[in-house]
Amino acid sequence: MIDFSKYPAEPFRIKSVEPVAMISREERLKVAQEAGYNTFLINSKDVYIDLLTDSGTNAMSDRQWGGMMIGDEAYAGSRNFHHLEEVVRKHFGFKHLVPTHQGRGAENLLSQIAIKPGQYVPGNMYFTTTRYHQERNGGIFVDIIRDEAHDATLDIPFKGNIDLAKLQKLIDEKGAENIAYVCLAVTVNLAGGQPVAMENMRAVRELTQKHGIKVFYDATRCVENAYFIKEQEAGYADKTISEIVHEMFSYADGCTMSGKKDCLVNIGGFLCMNDEELFQNAKELVVVYEGMPSYGGLAGRDMEAMAIGLEESMQYEYIRHRVLQVRYLGDRLKAAGVPIIEPVGGHAVFLDARRFCPHLTQEQFPAQSLAANLYIESGVRSMERGIVSAGRDINTGENHKPKLETVRLTIPRRVYTYKHMDVVADAVIDLYKNKEQIKGLRFVYEPKQLRFFTARFEEI
């Protein structure tokens, strides 16, 4: 039985609305077929509830919209850049900031300036664009997340932690000089939005310092991670979210950040660091790919909205509601026996496609088909996070076969209400009762890179 009293009301009032409409099942089936059963290729006008991603799909506040009106669009030295720099230094503590158009722009810069061909980049589970940039620049990704993160049924805290023994083993076998840096994600997206404990971050820092290895965070959902620390780790219950975030980053040498998540905006990102030489290299390279070091592919108004959004994300009532709204959806599905990744993370509920579709093999792309069928039956758009997203080994050409084969129901920030979560839950539960109707898929078009974005499929 769900205890509804533990879920807080939305900590905001709604000032503006965007109408949505549900098209018929027959129309949705046609749309899905024309999109090659890839939810990324469905037009948003044909979607009822859009849970494709939480990246750039946030609702901005009145203060952020007001900030957009005072954008300083100077080509160099915008006052909005200096405001963003001030806010990031206040909460993150890093000396230097290079703005980028979004998080993968920061990943591109970091991978080029920090990786020498043949070096290893250990991390707590891969992320698609992150690993692509690392491998494109000659890096070799090594997964050093704790083993428990690959078990969807295991409900324990801080499944995103780095396994220190795995990291030490890599250092011993390959040599510290052959490790570019440790990439530590807070939270770990593909593990189900799982957080990393402060104790683990501190231990990773202590280990890497002994060997002169840098640590860079994927800080995309750092505020969500801070909430889990406050909620679940001893000694942090009375700390503010900002204090926890600041301590988290004190154990890193820098970070990449997609502002499209915890900065509560629709576009933007940045790269942070303390090292002077890396900063100079990043400033030289950002001009090639993004723009001047004081705007990095962003308008001044975008940087202003990002600075205000980062401040707003540190408010406890906001982040508490955000995480618990996701947990509400997870609890509804668990109560109905729907298999999901446990525990529920900070930004999404992940359906366990292996257990949802036991009649399909992984090579039949069960998560891809599950996402397509959820759209067909309900108008709810989600996304695959399994063998299709994992891609192919760059050396052998064989499919990577992750242990987790999931469909991600990703909740945009400040966009949907609990009633929307009920609609989603009912749709998933109904589909689960009729899961045998879900057929396997095969490729009809497979891109060479990041195939999940544009691949097309047909039913087997």
Enzyme catalytic residues = 75, 127-128, 218, 261, 385, 452
Show the 3-state SS of the chain.
Answer: CCCHHHCCCCCCCCCCCCCCCCCCHHHHHHHHHHCCCCHHHCCHHHCCEECCCCCCCCCCCHHHHHHHCCCCCCCCCCHHHHHHHHHHHHHHCCCEEEEECCHHHHHHHHHHHHCCCCCEEEECCCCHHHHHHHHHCCCEEEECECHHHHCCCCCCCCCCCECHHHHHHHHHHHCHHHECCEEEECCEHHHCCECCCHHHHHHHHHHHHHHCCCEEEECCCHHHHHHHHHHHCCCCCCCCHHHHHHHHHHCCCEEEEECCCCCCCCCCEEEEECCHHHHHHHHHHHHHHCCCCCCCCCCHHHHHHHHHHHHHHCCHHHHHHHHHHHHHHHHHHHHCCCCECCCCCCCEEEEEHHHHCCCCCHHHCHHHHHHHHHHHHHCEECEEECHHHHCECCCCCCECCCCCCEEEEECCCCCCCHHHHHHHHHHHHHHHHCHHHCCCEEEEECCCCCHHHCCEEEEC
Burial letters 96-120, b for 16+ CB under 10 A, else e? bbbbbbbbbbbbbbbbbbbbeeebb
Taking the CB of residue 62, how many other CB atoms lie within 10 A of it?
11
Instruction: Give the Cα separation of 122 and 446 in Å (integer).
Output: 28
d(CA 382, CA 57): 13
Residue at token pair 């729907």: 338
**Cα–Cα distance, 103 to 118 (Å, whole number):** 24
